[in-house]
Structure 1
Amino acid sequence: MSRTYYAPHGGHPPQTDLLTDRAMFTEAYAVIPKGVIRDIVTSHLPFWDNTRLWVLARPLTGFAETFAQYIVEVGAGGGSERPEQDPEAEGVLFVVEGEIELTLAGTKHVLKPGGYAFIPPASDWSLRNRSGEAARFHWIRKRYQAVDGVPHPEAFVTNEQDIKPIEMPGTEGRWVTTRFVDMSDMRHDMHVNIVTFQPGGIIPFAETHVMEHGLYVLEGQAVYRLNQDWVEVQAGDFMWLRAFCPQACYAGGPAPFRYLLYKDVNRHAPLTLGGLGGVR
């Protein structure tokens, strides 16, 4: 089944719009609604040409400290031969609009919407938009937490259309997860998955756990429990959760509610500042 994904295009609202929006930042979570992802909040990176990006999350002391998440917009012919300057950073790319050419360890891959690439630390890679239209993709970065005796994970490229979602037990298919990495593979210290709820599907309890989350809504709408609040979210919104923030979900209709999910996994809780995965 083909999928569509929400992708921001920037621009600015008219001067006649009201300022009230759903954007919020609390001690436990943040909501960045699609209406604030505008031209004025774009960023740029060294060695990237004809490219701009929206930084949705970055390591923030006292909040979420393990990852950064960008939405990258690469214009026709744009890209980079030196995309990543941190040799300890691993990354995931997920394409939501357009087409990019990823060269990874000398092999070229064309990624279209739904395309997914895992890039290990210290990889040799570059990215170009060879098409005539802008391309937009998520880039999630984390400082890899190496473990003595556990090898680094290998690079791979796939598309969500090629992966069968896994049904959460007892949900009759109303809640499924598209997992790009085996949960028991100890080489991986982060998972970036896609979670899908059918209309009316729920997370039937308040999840409270050590994992930090970034949730970008790809499709649909829902009422999402964040700490003590119920917040309405829709395609294009981003939710940023610190560890132990309670969360639950009630998916509205008429379409499925789907989000791209980051979480840190498979490592001891660090007991020293130097052991943190995202900061030093």
Structure 2
Amino acid sequence: MSNTYYVPTGGLPAQTDLTTDRAMFTEAYAVLPRGTMRDIVTSLLPFWEKTRLWIIARPLSGFSETFSQYIVEVAPGGGSDKPELDPSAEGVLFVVGGELQLDLTGGKHDLRAGSYVFLPPQAQWTLHNTSAANASFHWIRKAYQRVEGIDVPEAFVTHEDDVPGGEMPGTEGRWTTQRFADPTDVRHDMHVNIVNFEPGGVIPFPETHVMEHGLYVLEGKAVYLLNKDWIEVQEGDFMWLRAFCPQACYAGGPGRFRYLLYKDVNRHAPLSRQLL
């Protein structure tokens, strides 16, 4: 089955449109509906040409603690020879539209919608749009937590078509997860996966766990439990869930419901703010 992903286009709503929407920001979770991703909330980055981005998560007291997430739009001829300025940052790129050329430690890769890139700290990479149309990708960044005696994971490039979905137990394929990094590899301290629900698929209990989440809806719609609230979400929406925020899901259809999921994993719980 071919995959499609929602890509924001900016613009502004008409002056006659209602202001009321589903945007909300609480102590336990936040919802950024796709309608909030407009021209006037984009940002620019140093050393990126013909590029703008929506910053949908960043480390902030009372919000994201462990990661940042951008939706990046690169115009034809745009890109960067100096993309990452933080030597402690690891990253994942997931392309949702258009075509990009990645140069990673001297190797060139042609990226298209569905391409996935893991970048360890201090990876040597550049990224450019050499096509005639805009290209868009998600860029998830985290300060890598080094552990003495454990190597940093190596960079890799793949495509979601090459990563089969693992069926969740007892779901008859209605709930699957595409895991891009080996979940038993403790070198990785974050996972960025794609979670898939067929119509009628559910998370059948309120998950409550230490992992912080960022969820960007790639396709479809569902009703999602966030803390005590059932919220309707659709493709293009972003959700942030604080650690231990209860969550569940019901995908009512008519099509698949899919989201890009971030979570922090495989490290001790910090006992001092200085270790965060």
TM-score normalised to structure 2 length: 0.99
Aligned pair 1:156/2:153, yes or no?
Answer: no
Report the equivalent of 2:70. Answer: 70
Report the equivalent of 1:59. Answer: 59
Superposition pairs of residues 91-240 of structure 1, within 5 angstroms: 91-240=91-240
Q: Distance in 1 between matches of 2:100 and 2:252?
A: 33
Aligned residue pair count: 276
Give the superposition deviation at 1:274: 2.0
Structure 1 runs of 4+ with >2 Å offset: none
Q: Does the CA contact (< 8 Å) of 1:70 and 1:139 recur in 2? A: yes
Aligned pair 1:250/2:244, yes or no?
Answer: no
Give the superposition deviation at 1:252: 1.8
Q: Does the CA contact (< 8 Å) of 1:64 and 1:243 recur in 2? A: no
**3-state secondary structure, aligned to 1:161:** helix
Q: Distance in 2 between matches of 1:266 and 1:20?
A: 40
Give the superposition deviation at 1:2: 1.7
**3-state secondary structure, aligned to 1:150:** coil
**3-state secondary structure, aligned to 1:217:** strand
Report the equivalent of 1:13. Answer: 13
Report the equivalent of 1:41. Answer: 41
Residue identity matched to 2:131:
S
Structure 2: gaps (5+ residues) = none
Q: Distance in 1 between matches of 2:26 and 2:237?
A: 16
Structure 1: gaps (5+ residues) = none
Q: Distance in 1 between matches of 2:251 and 2:60?
A: 29
Q: Does the CA contact (< 8 Å) of 1:191 and 1:264 recur in 2? A: yes
**3-state secondary structure, aligned to 2:248:** strand
Residue identity matched to 1:192:
V
User: What is the RMSD computed on CA atoms of the aligned residues?
Assistant: 0.6
Give the superposition deviation at 1:60: 1.2
* Deviations, residues 162-218 of structure 1 (Å, cap 9, x unaligned): 111100001000000000011110100000000000111000000000000000000
Q: Does the CA contact (< 8 Å) of 1:2 and 1:161 recur in 2? A: no
